[in-house]
Chains A and B, each alone.
Chain A
Amino acid sequence: MYEGVVQDLIDELGRLPGIGPKSAQRIAFHLLATDPADIARLQEILGKVREGVRFCDICGNVSEEERCRICRDARRDPALICVVEEPKDVLAVERTREFRGRYHVLGGALDPLSGVGPDQLRIKELLARIGGEEVSEVIIATDPNTEGEATATYLVRMLRDFPGLTVTRLASGLPMGGDLEFADELTLGRALSGRRAL
């Protein structure tokens, strides 16, 4: 234990995701030895992040304005919505440069253990969007784990009553450049059941 405020700093840093006690200590002492101007810049950004960042009114992605860059972009196909859990998933899909539609960020997945039900997710907003806009396909891209799968099942139930709407789920299977021999049985099993004709 260090004295006073240094320990407070270490404790605060240690509460961040992915940072253990040792990393927290290293960052704290790095900050102590850093040029005051750098610290001031960090402080300023931390302050701005709380006030300045908002979420897109339409899709829920992080945004600087009322609508995010993607929702403002007229070249993106409004008939196609990709539903993801977190803003970072938007970035992941964007990196593929394959998807030309728009997004909907749920803000998490169904997780009763942490008290997250449909009301805590942006599902109502999604239904309103589909009811109001000309949407022809919803691609569900939640994580392929227990919570993500449950969320996908729930969404399918909510969406099946919209006439003419196609609901799809991202395929799950083998990683590219991988080795069949080293694929785990669950992944390989799903790849088999989701195989396609060539």
Chain B
Amino acid sequence: MYLRHLQVTDFRSWEHVDLPLEPGPTVLVGPNGRGKTNLLEAVGYVATLSSHRVATDAPLIRQGCERALVRLAVVNEGRELTVELEIAPGRANRARVNRGAVGRPRDVLGILRTVLFAPEDLALVRGDPGERRRFLDDLLVQRAPRYAGVRSDYEKVLRQRNALLKTAGKRRGDDPYAASTLEVWDNHLATSGAQLLAARLNLVADLGPHTSAAYAGVAPDSRPATIGYRSSLGAALPEGYGVPGGERAEPEKLAEILLDALGESRAAELERGVSLVGPHRDELELTLGETPAKGYASHGESWSFALALRLGSYELLRAESGGEPVLLLDDVFAELDRRRRARLAEVAASAEQVLVTAAVDEDVPAELEGVRFAVTHGEVRRA
């Protein structure tokens, strides 16, 4: 798939931009602070309904404005769809497809698929486990949009259950009501948690080989990189789940295991007032050779691993049905040495469409000869 048109209004620094686009490489060049990244952010927002830079929507709105508007024309296998998203912090976002309102913004997920690689991605390797869980869940939604619903259901059940654990823990003993309602929430946590867990395990099994191959490509002299899923279920997790070529994870089976595990940790959970088992406590483990990447990998290795996770995601989505994703590379060439740069350029050049930002022309590898835009104050002009 590719973007044929990008239009933003009152998004970040942009009052209005109207940008016709073509398949193949498009490079946005301009000095720092002119808003190149903002344009990629807008595209990524339509694909994932979240920003890769901030957790809340308020910073996305141009100062003094009430709402931002992003409109994209997406061409997928010859069929064009116009997606429009109105972002208004503190209120529900509104979405339109081909100028007709859709029920929920979530319904536009899947129309545009993107893989975005940005300097923030270093946190995938160095950051908290939460960053890596978010990476997996975002990719799940790109892979199959229905997981947006599964994910938000799970978060809701988890919040409710934690609230119950907190109050029940305080007045333990004389409270038969807490025990009977906890069982109800256990059931719901196990059912929706198992769906999320099964999908993540299968994703890790599928993504692993792509990531290892991508890492070997960008850093051929380094130790081999592998990824693995560590579940809070520990040894109770069936063998072969989440392993390339292993058994596919089944939600029904996992729901039973999760329910048992919840029963076993009941006392500890009441003590601490939080849910101790479930996908929200899991970790995507990144390993270089024999050592964990976090804390042991050098700066260059961390960068390569983050890049490999994104390139692996790209190859995975590309190999599946649903349309080849649009690749978004935000200011990443300057950070890479010549070989890594060449490898990334090679993948990018083969993409159906790639949007690249760079501060100066020299940062962009020669392979990415395509359309160039010069980004200056409040203006994007074809160079």
Q: Beyond A182-B102, A186-B149, is A147–B181 a contact (Cβ under 8 Å)?
A: no
Q: Beyond A117-B177, A157-B180, A186-B146, is A147–B102 a contact (Cβ under 8 Å)?
A: no
Interface size, B (range): 20 to 34
In the complex, identify which listed stretch (A10-18, A57-65, A105-113, A163-171) lies at the interface while the others stay far away: A105-113
Q: Are A153 and B153 in contact (CB under 8 A)?
A: no
Q: Which 6 A-B pairs have the closest CB atoms?
A: A185-B146, A112-B164, A112-B163, A113-B163, A146-B156, A186-B149
Chain A residues with a Cβ under 8 A of chain B: 110-113, 115, 117-119, 146-147, 149-150, 153-154, 157, 182, 184-186, 189
B32 contacts A by Cβ under 8 Å: no
Q: List 9 A-B contacts (CB under 8 A).
A: A112-B161, A115-B167, A117-B178, A118-B177, A118-B181, A119-B177, A153-B187, A184-B103, A185-B145
B45 contacts A by Cβ under 8 Å: no
How far is B184's CA from A147's CA once the two chains are assembled, in angstroms? Answer: 11
Specify the chain B residue showing the minimal Cβ separation from A20: B91
How far is B188's CA from A111's CA once the two chains are assembled, in angstroms? Answer: 13
Q: Are A150 and B146 in contact (CB under 8 A)?
A: no
A120 to chain B, nearest CB (A): 10
8 Å CB interface, B149-172 against A:
149-150, 153, 156-157, 159-161, 163-164, 167
B104 contacts A by Cβ under 8 Å: yes
Chain B residues with a Cβ under 8 A of chain A: 102-104, 106-107, 144-146, 149-150, 153, 156-157, 159-161, 163-164, 167, 177-178, 180-181, 183-185, 187-188
Q: SS class of chain A's interface: helix, strand, loop or mixed? A: helix
B133 to chain A, nearest CB (A): 20
Specify the chain B residue showing the minimal Cβ separation from A184: B107
Q: Which residues of A contact B181 (CB under 8 A)?
A: 110, 112, 117-118, 154
How far is B181's CA from A171's CA once the two chains are assembled, in angstroms? Answer: 23
How far is B181's CA from A119's CA once the two chains are assembled, in angstroms? Answer: 11
Q: Are A110 and B161 in contact (CB under 8 A)?
A: no
Q: Which of the residues B107, B160, B180, B187 comes within 8 Å of A146, measured between beta carbons?
A: B160
Q: Beyond A146-B156, A146-B188, A153-B187, is A184–B149 a contact (Cβ under 8 Å)?
A: yes
